[in-house]
Structure 1
Amino acid sequence: MTSARRSDAFALCADRRRWVIVAVIFVAMVFNYLDRQIVAILKPVLKSEFALDDAGYAVLLNLFTVCYAVMYPVSGWLVDRFGPRLVLGVGVIGWSLACIGGGLARTIGVFGGFRAMLGLAEPTNYPSQLKVVAIWFPARLRATANSLCVAGGSIGAIIAPPTIAWLAIAHGWRSVFLVSGAIGLLISLVWFLVYRDPPAEVVEEVRASAPQAFSDTRYSWGQLWRTRSLWGILLIRFVSDPVWYFCLFWLPGYLQEDSGLTLLQVGMVGWIPFLAADLGSIASAAWSDRMVRRGVSPLLARKRMLTAVGLLAPLCVLTPYLPNAAATLIVFSLVAVAALSWLFTLSVVIAEAFPVGNAASVLGIAGGFGAAGAVVFNYFVGQLIGSVGAAQIFLVMAFLHPIAIAILWTMVREERTQSRPASQ
């Protein structure tokens, strides 16, 4: 075999490997979100089991979310320091064991402790997948590859209602935690077997597509905090993430307690907004990639797309006045498209606004701020939804993405040209 043929064969193998890696990340994300959704789908069951009211349920959510917020920046640093193979693999093991522990818990204290452990382990996923996308995929494929990775989360949210409802009805609520955790342990084994760092050919392809990201030296930790774009990304995640967290943690319970659906009915139709979110966010990411291929600068393409889909989010203000659960599902399908598109593509914005060596750290810090916003919002929802109703909650939610759009256009830019060696 000639040298050229060997090079072509190796490139083909590397190309296949990167899509296999995406597939494994996708599956990991599926079960990550399924684990996360169990409490939301089983909200009435768990409230009865552990004698919780809505405020107590909000505390349970925040045990997860506070730990998630604290660990997210740490996870980003760990990924930049030790690489995605080790960090994601250990993270999947950790969240799988936490899920199994939740299924075995007999008191609310122990159950809450395992939800906190889940929050500590789960933040390893998004910084790891962003690092993989940044080092394995050129700019022309990056948003699509990123959306396919993180689409696993919304697929997990799609399969969660029917899967969780069926397992809980057929085998008891504890079986849901045990089965999901066991599958997660298998995923971690596959990840360690499949993942490798990209070969030289792939590194050169990615470097050629985004020379600034690789030629610039990365920011030190202190320098990073002095960039305007970091603060813009943090504010965006703080104000926009709560909308997606509401879809995950409160919408299934709202459909049961306010729209009159049973657990079985939520299992049958509760996946619809998440399917819409998945399809819409992948389509919006592909649209922004198409703009890039037609000559629009990558960061500008992402901003245009995010602005367009972000204008769907204020439709949530109609929710308290809708006539039935079907109308609520339609409105939240559109809201979920906006919320998930922002989560998907903000990761790409980070990869394009900062050096590759800082991407996972920035995403980790941003994810922590997003979760912190969700902590505040969870408390707000827990205090109001059972007393004054949901109208005020949806009114607040309607303003969050428009605020995020304004921040995106005024604060986020490419920061690489001002970077200096991290040792300075």
Structure 2
Amino acid sequence: MTHSAAPSRLSPNYRWVILALLFCAGYLNQFDRQTVSVLKATLKLDFGIDDAGYAVLVNAFTVCYAIAYIASGWVVDRVGPKRALTWFIAVWSLATVGCGIVHSLWLMVFLRGLLGLAEPGLFPVTIRTATAWVEDKGRGFFMALGTIGTSIGGITAVPIIAWLTIHMHWRWAFVLPGVMGLLVAAAWWKFYREPERPAAEAAAEPAAVRPALPWKSLWREKALWGIVLVRLVSDPVWYFCLFWMPGYLQESKQVSIGLLGVIGWIPFLCANVGGLAFTALSDWRAKQRGLLGRKHLVMLTAVAGPLCWLVPQSSIAVTILLFCLIAVLCNAWLGSLAPMIAQLFPMGNVASVYGISGAFGASGAILFNYLIGQAAGRFGMEPLFLAMGLLHPLAALIMFLLVREKRPAAAPVALNA
């Protein structure tokens, strides 16, 4: 007998139980993802690899992440958030435990790939759950709260992993969070329920009650291509913060792993607080001017992109400040694109659209990771920071041109004889 996630007459306040579970899942999702970046110098020494070898380890995750993002959105729309997220958390947690046990680089590459197959499913589940439980005027903030666990995972991963490495062994940084993830998977399976959404609330949102578009028709939507190209261009900056920033601080700014544990979490804290504040402001603008208000606010932040150009010449303190601002910029974009998708597409398509866009974002990161691995040793990091500074302004131009609500077709005008 299967556990049902059928619509129930639970109080709207039950959404906070679901939010707490999404927070825990998000925390472990980011913690498990970031372990390799914090341990970059340690893993390079233990496995005898250079930056090109490390890029292979990173891209094993990122390639699988990109491929699975499209499929994960489809899975969520097909089987629902309850079963989907239970599977996703269980698989990524087992892969994480495995990384702490294996002694072969290629087995770790395989397990990081498995992690990449499972982790992207969290985000289509979050947007699908928020679309079902929360009305548009507060949805962006709810999504931000739901994914705030990922930011806090990024904040605490650096000092916790550094502490475990210094006082125990780096392998515990994989095993402990992996075991915790299995407990979260069990809790999600037990407690998740679908809401019985009030009809009046649904009627206020045309996208929520529109029938889902067929898969082939979805790819013909101009707004879909706008969203996916925006993420293709802008996501590599955030992936750099996740996978390369800790190692960059250690290798280019001579930051020890102990000092990294003290300062390396600060950009992720700023991303967390700044991104949450920005999504609240974005919701406020959406109440006033709908999608246009949200879109214009996001585009305005792209002026901060060229701050990347200042990083190579800066002191450690200024570098951390710049990474803080860059991380806020990235989270502001990621936090605002999800409610845009919910405004633009039927509820039956939102998980798929988010999955497709995430796949394109990860694909951009794959290419950028490869360029970093090939170019860093030969040319240094300066050309890469120059390129990163241009990505968000380019994404803003794409958003301006392509991300628009479809106008309803005009009714035919009757001619009097």
Distance in 1, Cα, partners of 2:115 & 2:406: 34
Instruction: Specify the SS of the correspondent of 2:254.
Output: coil
Amino acid at match of 1:32: N
Distance in 2, Cα, partners of 1:209 & 1:21: 23
The match for 1:301 is 293
Cα displacement string for residues 164-187 of structure 1 (whole angstroms, at most 9, x for unaligned residues): 101111110101100010110111
Amino acid at match of 2:76: V
Q: Contact 1:67/1:116 (CA < 8 Å) preserved in 2?
A: yes
Distance in 2, Cα, partners of 1:67 & 1:415: 33
- How many aligned residue pairs are there? 402
The TM-score, its normalising length taken from structure 1, stands at 0.93
Instruction: Specify the SS of the correspondent of 1:414.
Output: coil
| 1:178 counterpart = 2:170 | no
The match for 1:3 is none
Q: Contact 1:310/1:339 (CA < 8 Å) preserved in 2?
A: no
Q: Contact 2:203/2:209 (CA < 8 Å) preserved in 1?
A: no
Match of 2:271 among 274, 277, 281: 277
How much has 1:205 moved relative to structure 2?
5.2
Distance of aligned partners of 1:206 and 1:314 in 2 relative to their CA distance in 1, 3 Å threshold:
farther
Amino acid at match of 2:311: T
Match of 1:326 among 317, 323, 327: 317
Q: Which runs of 5+ in 1 are unaligned?
A: 1-9, 419-424
The within-5 A match list for 1:238-257 is 238-257=232-251
Cα displacement string for residues 133-173 of structure 1 (whole angstroms, at most 9, x for unaligned residues): 11110011101001111111111100010011011111101
Distance of aligned partners of 1:157 and 1:48 in 2 relative to their CA distance in 1, 3 Å threshold:
same
Amino acid at match of 1:43: K
Cα displacement string for residues 56-91 of structure 1 (whole angstroms, at most 9, x for unaligned residues): 100110000000000110000011111111101110
Cα displacement string for residues 191-217 of structure 1 (whole angstroms, at most 9, x for unaligned residues): 112210012xx343540331x113322
Q: Contact 1:235/1:407 (CA < 8 Å) preserved in 2?
A: yes
Distance in 1, Cα, partners of 2:47 & 2:117: 23
Structure 1 ranges of 4+ moved more than 4 A: none
Match of 2:400 among 402, 409, 416: 409
Amino acid at match of 2:403: V
Match of 2:304 among 283, 288, 312: 312
Distance of aligned partners of 1:416 and 1:397 in 2 relative to their CA distance in 1, 3 Å threshold:
same
Which of 61-70 and 185-194 deviates more?
185-194
Q: Contact 1:354/1:414 (CA < 8 Å) preserved in 2?
A: no
The match for 2:114 is 117
| 1:223 counterpart = 2:217 | yes
The TM-score, its normalising length taken from structure 2, stands at 0.94
Distance of aligned partners of 1:172 and 1:222 in 2 relative to their CA distance in 1, 3 Å threshold:
same
| 1:94 counterpart = 2:91 | yes
The match for 1:335 is 326
The match for 2:17 is 20
Amino acid at match of 1:388: F
Please, what is the CA RMSD of the aligned residues?
1.3
Q: Contact 1:316/1:331 (CA < 8 Å) preserved in 2?
A: yes
Cα displacement string for residues 259-298 of structure 1 (whole angstroms, at most 9, x for unaligned residues): 11100111111010011111111111000111233x221x
Distance in 1, Cα, partners of 2:137 & 2:296: 17
How much has 1:416 moved relative to structure 2?
8.2
The match for 1:106 is 103
Amino acid at match of 2:388: M
